[in-house]
């Protein structure tokens, strides 16, 4: 079998460390009743153990050569391979509830890919992915910490983030220039339901974190007065990195409700 040469434009780094692979499988705990969606299966390092558990796997691979080779490499009636861009893939077409998402996400598109999946969050029971470690640090950061920011809040309002372990560059071929981390993301529809308008919520986050060193009373000027911020139980002199996701939900809901009223 011809060796596949990793393609830089797809951010390909293939996992080859058997010990790390065993840790991934142990964390995922695949069962025969599971239906997995795997993003970027590559040469099937993780796909094989998932199929070995008896689970069903829908694999999404952008690389035509890898997508074409995977069914021959891992012949199974429970494997379906889609040669497609995961960023544009409609997960709803899989028409199943309780899907489990796994993958080694390309660093250059990892965050948009994660939010694309979370946009279909009601389909997914859980998400286990490998990402750049500094991204995972930001994903899981808490208020007041150095890494806390827009990404931390956007995820905290939608899901639970649980970093599992760090993966060193040497576990991949070719080795990336940074550490990776494996993370479990569990969608929380009950949290998402608290947001009246996701558009207003995301717009408000973008605004305040683009001026993260400013007090709320200044970064929200024209949107929310100091008195109104205080009425929501938030100190208007606080900076964005001190607020919880719940604080931002209250601010965004107030913003959305007044926006709707202004339009009437």
Do the domain assignments include residue 3?
Answer: no
Same domain, 75 and 184: yes
Q: Which of 129, 162, 192 lies at the terminal end of a domain, its last residue?
A: 192
- The predicted model gives 255-264 an average pLDDT of 63
Which stretch of 31-35, 110-114, 135-139, 256-260 has the lowest confidence by average pLDDT?
256-260
Same domain, 202 and 99: no
Span 169-218, pLDDT tens digits: 999 988 888 999 999 999 998 999 999 999 999 999 999 999 988 999 99
Same domain, 149 and 248: no
Span 83-116, pLDDT tens digits: 999 999 999 998 777 899 999 888 778 889 989 9
Do the domain assignments include residue 39?
Answer: yes
Share of the chain above pLDDT 70, in %: 93
Same domain, 207 and 174: no
Q: Which of 146, 170, 192 lies at the terminal end of a domain, its last residue?
A: 192
Residue predicted with more confidence, 108 or 259: 108
Same domain, 123 and 182: yes
Quickly state the pLDDT bin for 257 (edges 50, 70, 90): confident
CATH of the domain at 153: 3.40.50.150
Residue predicted with more confidence, 264 or 50: 50
Do the domain assignments include residue 1?
Answer: no
* HEC secondary structure over the chain: CCCCCCCHHHCCCEECCHHHHHHHHHHHCCCCCCEEEEECCCCCCCHHHHHHCCCEEEEEECCHHHHHHHHHHCCCCCEEEEECCHHHCCHHHHCCCCEEEEEECCHHHHHHHHHHHHCCHHHEEEEEEEEEHHHHHHHCCCCCCCCCCHHHHHHHCCEEEEEEEEECHHHEECCCCCCEEEEEEEECHHHHCCCCCHHHHHHHHHHHHCCCCCCHHHHCCCCCCHHHHHHCCCCCCCCHHHCCHHHHHHHHHHHHHHHHHHHC
CATH of the domain at 210: 1.10.8.100
Full residue range of the structural domain in which residue 165 is found: 8-192
Do the domain assignments include residue 23?
Answer: yes
Q: Which of 192, 212, 231 lies at the terminal end of a domain, its last residue?
A: 192
Quickly state the pLDDT bin for 3 (edges 50, 70, 90): low
Q: What is the structure's pLDDT at 10?
A: 45
- How many domains does the chain contain in total? 2
């Amino acid at each position: 079998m011809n060796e596949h040469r990793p393609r830089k434009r797809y951010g390909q780094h293939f996992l080859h460390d058997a010990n790390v692979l065993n840790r991934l499988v142990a964390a995922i705990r695949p069962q025969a009743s599971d239906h997995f969606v795997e993003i970027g299966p590559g040469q099937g390092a993780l796909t094989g153990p998932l199929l070995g558990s008896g689970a069903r796997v829908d694999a999404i691979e952008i690389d035509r050569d890898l997508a074409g080779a995977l069914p021959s490499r891992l012949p199974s009636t429970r494997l379906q391979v889609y040669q497609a861009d995961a960023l544009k893939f409609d997960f709803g077409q899989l028409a199943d509830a309780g899907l489990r998402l796994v993958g080694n996400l390309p660093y250059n598109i990892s965050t948009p890919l994660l939010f694309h999946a979370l946009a279909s969050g009601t389909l997914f029971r859980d998400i286990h992915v490998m990402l750049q470690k500094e991204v995972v640090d930001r994903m899981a950061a808490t208020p007041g910490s150095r890494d806390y920011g827009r990404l931390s809040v956007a995820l905290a309002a939608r899901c639970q983030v649980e970093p599992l372990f760090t993966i060193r560059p040497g576990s991949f071929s070719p080795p990336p220039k940074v550490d990776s981390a494996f993370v479990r993301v569990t969608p929380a529809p009950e949290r998402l339901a608290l947001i009246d308008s996701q558009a207003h919520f995301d717009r408000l986050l973008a605004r305040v974190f683009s001026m993260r060193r400013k007090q709320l009373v200044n970064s929200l000027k024209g949107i929310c007065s100091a008195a109104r911020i205080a009425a929501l139980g938030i100190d208007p002199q606080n900076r964005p990195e001190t607020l919880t996701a719940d604080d931002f939900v209250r601010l965004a809901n107030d913003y959305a409700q007044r926006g709707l009223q202004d339009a009437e």
